[in-house]
Structures are given as structure tokens and as C-alpha cells.
Amino acid sequence: MKRLSGGGILIPFILFTMLFYFIPLLEIFRMSMSTGGWTEVVTGAAFITFLRFSLTQAILTTAICLLIGIPTGYILARGDPYLKTILSVMVLVPFLIPPMSILLGFVILYEPNGLISRLVGFQVIDVFGTLGGIVLAHTLYNISIVTRLVAANFETIDEEIVGMAESNGASTVRLWQTVFFPHILPSVFASALLVFLLSFNSFAIVLMLGNVRLQTLEVMIYSQSRIRLDFVTASKIAVLQLLINLAISMTYLRVTATSKYEASYAPKTQSSKLTRVLSTLWISMVILFTWQPILATVYQLIRTSSGTDILSTQYNNILGTTPTRVLFNTFIFGLITGVASTVLALTIVYYKKFGANQRIPMILSFISIMPLMSSSITLSLGMLLAYRKTLFFSDAIWIFIAGAHVLAALPFVTQTLGSGAEQIPKDIITISQSLGASKTRTTVGILLPLLLPSIIVSFLLGLAISFGEFGATFFLVRGEWTTVSVAIQKLFVTRDNILPLQYAIILIVITLVSFSLVEKGRR
């Protein structure tokens, strides 16, 4: 064990990231540099058009999310709404739901013959092939990010400073200028970067709503590689996108790393009954707005509950497998992702506690969050380019799909386990070893039991992230390994929404249960 603690314990982490992350990325760079033509790609009409669209829809989505999210975060934190704990959770729910489930409900609402069109008698917005439709879908999905980050930041404001400003006659405008806005600015900046990054790299929503003529760079990479089989152009676009993502991600990490606040020193003044009622009303309206797709999915399923049974085999040709095998695949990938991402994160925690070089855990932690800087389509393209000529890739594609799922979950699982490990006093480990306990015994008898809540939370987090993963699975999957998210997309074109609705509800319920357990475990 002594030899392992010196570096051998990190072998699984090193091998995994090399096989599924670094080698694929290096292959993309190699392919992009294999020929010239950079000028033609960068100045090409298609690239300029889709880059402009990617930036435009991301900027508009970010602006609208900030416009709604900042006041909502303020009201949630300082308006003292009734049922605040429940409302806080409900605000976050749309962002947790897998994108294909949200997208299905969104189309049910806003398609030409959708629920809203039938209710008001005319089509409110054309969601297919329009900038407005895509921005609306992204906004519904991302408002909760701004709301939760800003609300958390508002809750750390020193109430003594607020009280002093008010006692000195500061108006509401002056209070915002001198106290509130300077304090929440880092969270506003961080949430804006995060929403922008997610919208800029959007794949599922733009793939389904863009009608080909509207594409983000992510969709363009897929189109060039999987439809046109032009891997060189796809690699060049992927490199350009990666550089943009890297700049945004590094800025985000720098903002969040330097934005730490202590809790307030004085209790907040009790809000009036009218303020609480108005605050509750506002939060409820925002929740109703963002929950539209979820409610539409539930409503539509109830209306069509007498249709196709989930055990039916009538869609086998479309799915490439049976509906029950789709559920099996989804659960298997979820279990693999939960276990593998947790084990890999544990190796970092172990080395941090017992390794000789304490710089290595910092490097490993940074490597674990690097997948956030690389889109799922880019990583999938890299895997295809690096391994497509091997029998292993053709015969065991499920391993690469599982690897992509683990990469998607690893940044969040590593952060969760790392936070749990930081709560363990260093003295406990030191005392255990000073009493003669080996590293193995200390790990088994002390470290793992104390980390057990974080381990459970990490597993559930990886499970939930895997259930909602779409991009990499859609890029790599073959029929027999179709997951629920991909099945919803395949069945979407049939316009028979009964089985997709059943799948969507399954994803929604499992995701909500998983994240409820995660939230409970964190508390």
C-alpha cells in the first residue's frame, strides 16, 4: 500500500483521463493540423453565420436570464417568501431535468398546434428554425442558475452594513449602488459566464429546434463529422470552439475562486406581511414560467395515458432495440457512471490525504474539471477519430459511451467529494497514524466512514447526470445501446408522443428523486 500511496493509487485516474480525454483531444488537434485550409474554414460563410448565431443566442439568453434571475434571487433571499425552502428547490428543478425531457414539453406547448396555441387561438411564437424559439427554450432552462447563485450571494451580505446604510438615510437606489450590487457582482458575473457557456455549447435544443438552418458550433461539428464525414473541417471547428470555451471557463474559475464571503453578522429585519405575500407571488410566477415544459409533459401524458404501453415492441425498428432495453441501457450507464466517477474522485482524495507531493492533488483536481471546458460533441469526435479503426471501438462502443458519461459527471463528483474531505479534521488522520495505524487501516476505519455521506451524494449525482446525458450518447450510440434521452429524440420525428412522454416522465421522476437525495445528503 505504501507503494500505491506514492502514485500507484492514481493509475486508474491517469489511465482513464488519458484514454477518454487527452488522447481524443490530441487526435482532434492532430487532425485539424493535418492539412491547411484554416482560412477557408474561419472565413467561410457557414462558419461565420453559425458563429454569429451561437454568440447572438447565447448573449440574448444570458441577458434575459440576468434580467429575471437577479430580482428573483434578491426576492428569494431577502423578500422572506412563504415556504422559502420549498420554493428554493422548485426554482432549481428545471435546470436539473434532462434537456430532452424539457425540450419535449417545450414543443408540446409551443408547436403550431400546441397547447398554448389551442388555448389562445393563435401561435404565440414559432419555435422551429427561429432565434426567438431557441432563446426562449434556453431561458426556461437556465434562469435557475442565475437565481440560485445570486440568492446565495445575497444571503451572505453583512446585515450590519445594510442597517448602517439605512440608518444614515440611504435610499433603495443608493443601497443597491453602494451595498447590494458591489457584493453580488461576482455571482452575477459567474452566473452570466455559466449561462453563456451552456447556451453557446447547446446541442440538443438547437439540433431539434434549429431546422438545420440554425446551428451552434456544437451542431456544426456534429453535422460536419457525422453527416458530411468531413472530419478535418469538424476538427478545425472543434479546436476553435475549444479555445473559446477555455477562455470562458478559465474566467469563470478565476471569478468563483476569488469570490468567497462570510455569513452575515446580524439577523435580517423581519419583512412585512405584504412584502412576504408579494415575494411569494413573484417567485411562484417565475416557477410557473420555468416549469411550463414539465407541467406540459405531465398534462399531455395524462391526456394520452391510454396509448402505447412502454412494453410494446412497435417502435423497435426506430429505436434499434426494444423499449425495455432502452431503460436497461440507461440504468446500466447510470450505475457505471455513479460508481466509476466516485472511485476516480476518491483516488484524488486519498492522494491528497496521504500523498507526499501536495501539488499533485491540485493538478488532478484541475484535470478533473477540464471536461467542463470541452463539449461532449468535441470529446465524442475525438474518441471517434482516435479509436474508429480499432475492433475495440466497433465491438465495444458501450465502453466509450460510458466513458463520455463519466467525463460529464467527474467535475461535479470530484468537487462534491473534495468538499466532503475538507470537512474532515486533519488531526484525526494524524492521530490515527501516530498511534500506529497504517494508511490502509486509517482509510478503511476513519476516512471512508467519515466520507460515506459524500460518497453516497457523489454516486447519486453521477447517476442523475448520466440519465440526462444526450450529446455524446447521440454522437456515438448504435441501436442496441440507445438510452432514454436518445430514444426521445428518435421518436420525436414520428409525432407520436406517447412513448416519448412516458420516457420523459421516467427521467423527470428519477432525476428529481436523485437530486432530492443529493440535497438531503449535502444538508
Residues 276-293: pLDDT tens digits? 889 899 999 999 999 999
* Least confident stretch, 355-359, 404-408, 489-493: 355-359
Each residue of 365-395: pLDDT tens digit?
A: 788 888 888 888 999 999 999 999 888 888 8
Give me the pLDDT at residue 64, please.
96
**Interatomic CA distance for residues 147 and 431, integer angstroms:** 43
Residue 284 has a CB neighbour count (10 Å cut-off) of 15
Give me the pLDDT at residue 27, please.
94
Encoded amino acid at 172, one letter: T
Each residue of 72-105: pLDDT tens digit?
A: 998 988 888 888 888 888 888 888 888 888 888 8
Q: Report how far Cα 367 is from the mean position of its chain's Cα atoms.
A: 18
Which of 446 and 122 is assigned the larger pLDDT?
122
**Interatomic CA distance for residues 185 and 190, integer angstroms:** 8
Residue 281 has a CB neighbour count (10 Å cut-off) of 13
* Least confident stretch, 20-34, 294-308, 433-447: 433-447
Percent with pLDDT over 70 in the chain: 86
Confidence of residue 307 (pLDDT cuts 50, 70, 90): low
Q: What is the pTM of this model?
A: 0.86
* Least confident stretch, 57-71, 168-182, 185-199, 291-305: 168-182
Residue 432 has a CB neighbour count (10 Å cut-off) of 18
- Mean pLDDT of the residues in the chain: 83
Is residue 95 a contact partner of residue 194, using CB atoms and an 8 Å limit? Answer: no
* Least confident stretch, 31-40, 239-248, 357-366, 466-475: 357-366
Give me the pLDDT at residue 268, please.
58
Give me the pLDDT at residue 240, please.
92
Q: Which residues contact 58 (CB under 8 A, 6 or more apart)?
A: 195, 196, 199, 200
Give me the pLDDT at residue 29, please.
93
* Least confident stretch, 257-266, 341-350, 354-363, 468-477: 257-266
How confident is the model over 444-458, as a mean pLDDT? 77
The label of the residue with cell 472530419 reads 231
Percent with pLDDT over 90 in the chain: 28
**Interatomic CA distance for residues 476 and 388, integer angstroms:** 11
Each residue of 194-247: pLDDT tens digit?
A: 899 989 999 989 998 888 888 999 999 999 998 899 999 999 999 999 999 888
Domains, the chain, ordered by start: 1-27+307-523 (1.10.3720.10), 35-303 (1.10.3720.10)
Each residue of 104-147: pLDDT tens digit?
A: 889 888 888 888 888 888 778 888 889 999 999 999 989 988 99
Give me the pLDDT at residue 2, please.
44
Q: Is the pLDDT score of 263 beyond 50?
A: no
Q: Is the pLDDT score of 4 beyond 50?
A: no
